[in-house]
Amino acid sequence: MSPDAYLHRIEDGAAVFLPMDRAAYHRSIFLDHRVQAARSGEASTPVGDAPVQPIAFIFHVAHCGSTLLARALDRIESNLVLREPMALRQAALDPNVPLDAVLGLLSRRYRPDLPTLIKANVPVNFVLSRIVAAVPGMRALFLHMPLESWLAAVLRSPQHRHWVHQVSTLVGLPVEVDDAAAAAQLWLAQTDAFRAAMMLLPDSVSLDADRFFSHPAEAIAASAPALHVAMSGGEAAQIAAGPLFTHDAKRPANVFDNAERVRRALATKAAIAIEISAARKWIEARGGDTSPLPRALI
């Protein structure tokens, strides 16, 4: 089956496919309910077995530029890039959704010489060991953030704070805690999961989001070969200098660049300084590891 039939979701035990083509994947910033299919219509079939081909993954802690990186690596003539496929999120949260079958259907590709690249989302971080066991020849990049930077990203508004508690509930973390502790435990749980997965994947790499934002051309050029994405250094520099990096990656109509990101982060860190200190103490009290992830790309 071609990637033109995209496994969108599992519903009532059946696989639901949407019609896609390479251009539709490219323009779909996300492949959940925001997917932009090639045309209307869908088809349902029983969930069947499909061989899992090698896949490259971007795993991330959220609010750290993963959409920006995935879009920077997405060119129509190169690897197929899937940003947050809904079925994979379902498989991470629902034991009745067969992970191997989902991975097999998502691993299909347009170019047989280039692996499909999947940008996962946060719930997927909690089934990393199962994914490592299921995917042969897997490549992985772990995009992370220093604790203070991540706290500034996820505690900057009531909506972001709600997201922290909502996701914590979904993945089974304790929820009867304040915002600072909730953010601290979610950050620690994800970075601990990344460290464990990197032990199983000796070719995996990590990327500090702050370094990515400040050195985009270097980060893109290093990420591409690590994920077996076909791209030259010159192409990476051109992409980093283009409109993708002067606009919001999730909402391309909005102007937004790294200077604005830094300004916002500094203001937020000042405003939540007490909570940052509380979050750090929460992690220290539990012997949590706050050091950078190993095998940094840049």
Q: Write down the pLDDT at residue 48.
A: 86
Average pLDDT (56-62) is: 98
Closest CA to 54 of 163, 143, 162, 137: 137
> CATH code at 239?
3.40.50
CA distance linking residue 184 with residue 167, whole number of Å: 13
Largest CA distance in the chain: 54
Q: Is the pLDDT of residue 1 over 80?
A: no
Look at residue 292 and tell me if it is in a domain: no
Q: How confident is the model at residue 83 (pLDDT cuts 50, 70, 90)?
A: very high
Q: How confident is the model at residue 38 (pLDDT cuts 50, 70, 90)?
A: very high
pLDDT in tens, 230-243: 999 999 999 999 99
Q: Residue 176: exposed, middle, or buried by beta-carbon count in 10 A (0-12, 13-18, 19+)?
A: exposed
Q: Is the pLDDT of residue 64 over 80?
A: yes
Look at residue 157 and tell me if it is in a domain: yes
Structural domain of residue 257, as residue ranges?
Answer: 5-285
Q: Is the pLDDT of residue 175 over 90?
A: no
Closest CA to 7 of 99, 72, 139, 69: 99
Q: How confident is the model at residue 18 (pLDDT cuts 50, 70, 90)?
A: very high
Look at residue 293 and tell me if it is in a domain: no
Q: Write down the pLDDT at residue 65.
A: 98
Q: How many domains does the chain have?
A: 1
Q: Is the pLDDT of residue 150 over 90?
A: yes
Whole-number average pLDDT of the chain: 97
**pTM (two decimals):** 0.97
Look at residue 192 and tell me if it is in a domain: yes
Ramachandran assignment for 62, one of left (phi > 0), alpha (psi -120 to 50 degrees), beta (any other)? left
Average pLDDT (15-39) is: 98
Look at residue 41 and tell me if it is in a domain: yes
* 3-class DSSP state of 37: coil
Please report, rounded to a whole number, the percentage of residues in the chain having pLDDT higher than 90: 97
Residues 6+ apart with CB under 8 A from 108: 1, 2, 3, 50, 53, 116
pLDDT in tens, 121-141: 999 999 999 999 999 999 999
* 3-class DSSP state of 120: coil
Q: How confident is the model at residue 49 (pLDDT cuts 50, 70, 90)?
A: confident
Look at residue 298 and tell me if it is in a domain: no
